[in-house]
Structure 1
């Protein structure tokens, strides 16, 4: 699920293949598919090895049980760990275990250039009957606007093609490399880079991303997100659940210096759905003034998060030195604008998409059914005091 950037024109996609709900409806003739470009993970190879393992009855039973309880996905390393006794001597298992260990070890390193973590999710688990109606797939590489069909495989490795725009009614097990688990690690590093650049204090590091813990003797004055809903979109179903994060910004001192944080919103999976996260987004002790911004973005595909943060910081710092004498409320808007405008246009085609902005959220004010500037998100926000123990 993704929201196109407001400056991008609407793309009208031609539907080539209708969605299918049983094997008789599958189109076995190739249509127009974008070749997969080289990445550090060959998702097609991973998919084939995963299919090999799914032909083992015990592996299949355990894996399906995990996928039916997914929220929103299951790390492949967890699946391999819980099924090792069934398939640990098989080559596909050994290959996948080596790949997952390599990727997860790399993601724990010092400032990795790119983070990819293998995970698995199932589209339409409610439609599962047996393996005869299940497909296996992965998101293509490249610009999603060029996707017309999705490559998929049966349990017997027969190649089929699915409509990229219209979700199939049958179950599809999807191999993912840039989903929920990847976002968790990227957010951690993004905040570390913001701290190193001097535009974030150490609150998140000290609190270990626990936004519901008071860290001061007198408690914390905050603003809490009680409800949120994202509007409909027409993005490819193969991208799965959204990986949304908020970038909050405010003015932290009399020199109009910015304070910027990245806050993950792991629960915000699908559009057209009300969520009640009870999540703290703004810590008012961080700001000199009683107003701040909240902007929503979605992480979907391969993007160099180091470049992303570097570009945001660069855009924000372009205005520093020229704003110290301006009214703080003007600077508050400029910081939020710089965060959006700093991102290159190509990052909105199939990477981190701009969802919406909530500008000048005030400290002691409640907001009910408050629409963002783009009309893509609606929220309920309220003041919330976190008392100390």
Structure 2
């Protein structure tokens, strides 16, 4: 994990209303009276993850179920809890399934995702170095993936009796640890759909009218030939980063627009990737300039709230007949008071031109990309 100072920008950390938050004490995963209770957190998703970790830890008191979970954890880097409990043969796993389904719904609600998001909670070993200890039969602990934004030096894990253990964030522990977290790649994919749909409903991001066919018909784009980020804002215990980019500019109708770009391949810091991915589709834009803001989703992003905040700001901006950067307006749309385990600002690229080619360093100095014009011919 990088030791550089995090470049934070408040892109979400929404304080959900009581109707949006699934109260932990009302779920099947809540602590039972007279037993260890889960500490209250300001983050709805983190709270659900913690309650799930405690419930899963207690369920591992069933040896048969513990073996099923161990086999699954050794067979893959992560496994969906919905599928794991849904396919369980051990009694404790079957008993846990309903609570996991309810917890998945709670996560989807807290993240502003639709009912089609499906199972989002998953587990995996905190670090690959723990595999040998797990395989040899050392009893595991279970924890919610810790936030990297609260400055804590430790996090809480639970054993099969429900007892809490404080573990250091550097991963130094004699016991293997299952981490419960959200499938970030799946959540980002669904969340960007929510943003696109919400902006379209506000009259933003309207599709340009089809142009008459010409001999040179097709689409002019800017393509990412290579990209590298110095700090993906993701600590070791959370695994791969979940990166997405918001491209902003003025649409053909003169209104601001935001196009979402999923970047599931950009997992590790200080690693160069060669995606050949289209970043800007110039047929969507009035001017030959656009901005790009790269973010990393830390888990609590409420995509409905994010879309509403962006739309509220963009609807106040009018076309002055010349290109003006919109990246700062987009970043300033989200109040800093909304921070929890917020999506982290990774870097931004201002005034990308239709003709831009070669190396472009990010404004924050945390990343770079090489780009080139790329014409996509009509079929």
Partner of 2:123: 120
Decide whether the 8 Å contact of 2:82 with 2:97 is kept in 1.
no
1:27 alignment partner in structure 2: none
Pairing 1:318–2:316 present:
yes
Q: Which residue in 2 is equivalent to 1:336?
A: 327
Residue 67 of structure 1 corresponds to: 76
Cα-Cα RMSD:
3.6
Any conservation in 1 of the 2:205–2:251 contact (CA below 8 Å)? no
Shift of 1:157: 5.2
Whether 1:4 aligns to 2:6 is yes
Residues 147-194 of structure 1: per-residue CA shift (max 9 Å, x gap) = 231001346655322223x34477532111372322222111111011
| CA drift at 1:198 | 2.0
Greater mean alpha carbon deviation, residues 99-108 or residues 55-64: 99-108
Distance change >3 Å, CA 149–CA 103, structure 1 → 2: closer
Structure 1: 5+ residue stretches without partners: 9-32, 204-216
Which consecutive residues of structure 2, in runs of 5 or more, have no partner in the other structure? 11-37, 209-215
Sort the Cα spacing of 1:146 and 1:305 in 2 relative to 1 into closer, same or farther, 3 A: same
Shift of 1:58: 5.1
What SS does the corresponding residue of 1:272 show, helix, strand or coil? coil
**In 1, Cα distance between equivalents of 2:269 and 2:338:** 21
Match of 2:346 in 1: 355
TM-score (norm 2): 0.74
Deviation at 1:38, TM superposition (A): 7.3
Report if the CA contact (8 A) 1:87-1:93 is conserved.
no
User: Where in structure 2 are the equivalents of 1:279-318 lying within 5 Å?
Assistant: 279-318=277-316
User: What's the secondary structure of 2:317's corresponding residue?
Assistant: coil
Confirm whether residue 375 of structure 1 aligns to residue 365 of structure 2: yes
Contact 2:362-2:368 at 8 Å conserved across structures:
yes
Deviation, structure 1 residue 47: 1.6
In structure 2, relative to structure 1, the CA distance for the partners of 1:313 and 1:45 (3 Å cut) is closer
Q: Distance in 2 between matches of 1:99 and 1:347?
A: 23
Instruction: Tell me how far 1:345 sits from its aligned partner.
Output: 1.5
Instruction: Determine if contact 2:167/2:173 at 8 Å carries over to the other structure.
Output: no
Across the two proteins, how many residue pairs are aligned to each other? 333
What residue number does 2:197 align with?
Answer: 192
Conserved? CA contact 1:249–1:260, under 8 Å: yes
8 Å CA contact retained: 2:289, 2:351: yes
Partner Cα separation in structure 1 for residue 221 and residue 269 of structure 2 = 26
Q: Specify whether residues 282 and 84 from structure 1 end up closer, same or farther in structure 2 by C-alpha distance, changes over 3 A only.
A: same
- Find the partner of 2:100 among 68, 72, 96: 96
1:1-389 to structure 2, matched below 5 A, reads 4-5=6-7, 35-37=40-42, 39=44, 42-51=48-57, 52-53=59-60, 55=63, 56=65, 59-68=68-77, 70=78, 74-81=79-86, 83-86=87-90, 90-97=94-101, 99-100=103-104, 107-109=113-115, 117-131=120-134, 132=138, 134-139=140-145, 144-154=149-159, 158-164=163-169, 166-168=170-172, 171-177=176-182, 179-202=184-207, 218-232=217-231, 236-253=235-252, 256-320=254-318, 323-325=319-321, 328-329=322-323, 331=324, 333=325, 335-347=326-338, 350-368=341-359, 370-389=360-379
Maintained 8 Å contact 2:145/2:237: yes
Instruction: Tell me how far apart the structure 2 counterparts of residues 116 and 308 of structure 1 sit (CA, whole Å).
Output: 22
CA contact (8 A) 1:178 1:300 kept: no
Measure, in 2, the Cα distance between the counterparts of 1:233 and 1:246: 13
* Local SS of the residue matching 2:351: strand
